[in-house]
Structures are given as C-alpha cells and as structure tokens.
Amino acid sequence: MTLVMVVDDDQDLSEMLGIVLTGAGIDVDLVSRGDEALEVFRNNPPDLVLLDVMLPGLDGVEVCKLIRAESMVPIIMLSARGDSHDVVRGLEAGADDYMVKPFKHPSELVARIRTRLRRTNTDISGLLTIGDLAIDVAAHQVLRAGKQIALTRLEFDLLVALAKEPGRVFSRDALLSEVWGYRHSTDTRLVNVHVQRLRAKIEHDAERPEIVVTVRGVGYKAGVMGRS
C-alpha cells in the first residue's frame, strides 16, 4: 500500500488529511514538527511527502532540502500563503509540486498525489536519446557516456516528455498537463523552476542550454546537439 508522510503542525488539518487519504486507500504517517520530519522519513521511508511550509522546529523549505539531499521521493509543498515567494522557495528547495491552502476539493489533493506516484511512460521500451543523453525509460535511468545522472521522478518525466517528441515545441501549459497532470493551470512557475533544476543537472553549461532549449514566447523543446 502507498504511504504518504504528512508534515503539518495543525492537528485538525492533519487528521482531516488522514481521513481523506485513508478514504482514498493511502496510508498516512502524520508528523507535526519540522525537526522531527527527517527522522520519521528515515525510519519509515514514504512514497510521497506532503510538506507544510510553516512548521515549528524547522521550516518546511529546510525540511524539503534535507529530504531532497538524500532521496528522490516526490515532495508536494502545502502553502497557506498564495504569494509566490514561498512557492518558489519550496520549488527551488526541490519540491515537485505545491498546493495552496485551501484546496478546492479533496479529490484534487488525491489526484495530485496519484499523478506524482504513477508510473509514467510504461509503454515506452528501449532507449530514448536527447542531446548526448541516453534515457532508459523502463529502468528509470539517464546516462551520459555510460554514467548515470540522478534525477527526481518529476525531472525524469519532464525530460522524457521532451525526448519522446524531439521536433515538438512544448508550451508551458502543455508540459503542465503532460508532466504535472494539470488540466489548465496558468502557473508557469512550476515549469520554469523545474526546467532550471533539470538544466543544472544535465546541461554542460546551464547558462547556455543545449538539451532543454527555450523557444522564446512559446515554451521549450528538445535541443539537437551540435546544431545550436
């Protein structure tokens, strides 16, 4: 069974989240303090982390960094403040997605969690190439000259989405729907921040990207090495 670790200091909300997630067939591990999160995470590694930004003990963004430093587990930040500062901080700390309280509907939360947990692109077998990278989709590995590059599941999905259709220019909205499972969100910050993070890991020079190329005014596409 799937296990989700919920880190939130509001007891009532945690309990409610527990009720909703349990109802959807997901096991829940509740943590109420930021400084306890990492220990619980190590003792009982979850499949996904729901992490509030404002936490007693240790800030949610810091917790996110600590978890990301040792695991590629999907992390969804919960923010009570809609302002972008919190959100971007969380995303830059390695969160895959974020939700602003209050969520529209319990099913929205469950849907987001399921999107992050689903095994994507199971239909693709063999190797994809993008730039000088080889992607083994089935093994969930990205290789450059035989050496593996560690990517989070989301970064991997993002790269695969681009590599699957090398000629296509993806708008940010298209990527949001493809990778994050949003039907239509206008929050392009998610895409921007993750493209930056991905580039930092796979590009030779993140300032002059050759693998994930920006198409000005439209979005991104897979770059063709040597032609740029």
Q: Which of 101, 140, 144, 164 binds other proteins (CB under 8 A)?
A: 101
Q: Which of 42, 105, 168, 208 binds other proteins (CB under 8 A)?
A: 105
**Buried-state track 90-114, b at ≥16 Cβ within 10 A, e below 16:** bbebbbbbbbbeeeeeeeebbebbe
- Written as six digits, the tokens of 126 are 């063999």
Helix (H) or strand (E) holding 201: helix 189-202
Binding to other proteins by CB under 8 A, coded x per residue (else -) over 46-65, reads --------x-----------
Q: Considering only 15-23, 28-36, 123-131, 150-158, which stretch makes contact with other proteins by CB under 8 A?
A: 15-23
Q: Considering only 143-151, 158-166, 186-194, 199-207, which stretch makes contact with other proteins by CB under 8 A?
A: 186-194
Q: Which of residues 190-219 bind other proteins (CB under 8 A)?
A: 192, 216-217
Q: Which of 1, 69, 102, 123 binds other proteins (CB under 8 A)?
A: 102
Q: Considering only 19-27, 31-39, 130-138, 148-156, which stretch makes contact with other proteins by CB under 8 A?
A: 19-27
Nearest to 6 by CA among 105, 110, 89, 155: 110
Nearest to 191 by CA among 210, 212, 165: 212
- The rounded distance, in Å, linking the Cα atoms of 150 and 166 is 22
Question: Is residue 203 within 8 Å of residue 102, measured between CB atoms?
Answer: no
103 contacts other proteins (rule: CB under 8 A): yes
- The rounded distance, in Å, linking the Cα atoms of 2 and 200 is 31
Shortest distance in whole angstroms from residue 164 CB to other proteins: 23
Q: Considering only 14-22, 25-33, 115-123, 199-207, which stretch makes contact with other proteins by CB under 8 A?
A: 14-22
Binding to other proteins by CB under 8 A, coded x per residue (else -) over 72-91, reads --------xxxxx-------
23 contacts other proteins (rule: CB under 8 A): yes
Q: Residue 189: which residues within 8 A CB-CB, separation 6 or more?
A: 84, 87, 88, 91
Torsion over CA: 218, 219, 224, 225 (sign):
positive
Residues that bind other proteins in the complex, under the rule CB under 8 A: 10, 12-13, 16-17, 19-20, 23, 54, 80-84, 101-107, 109, 172, 184, 186-189, 192, 216-217
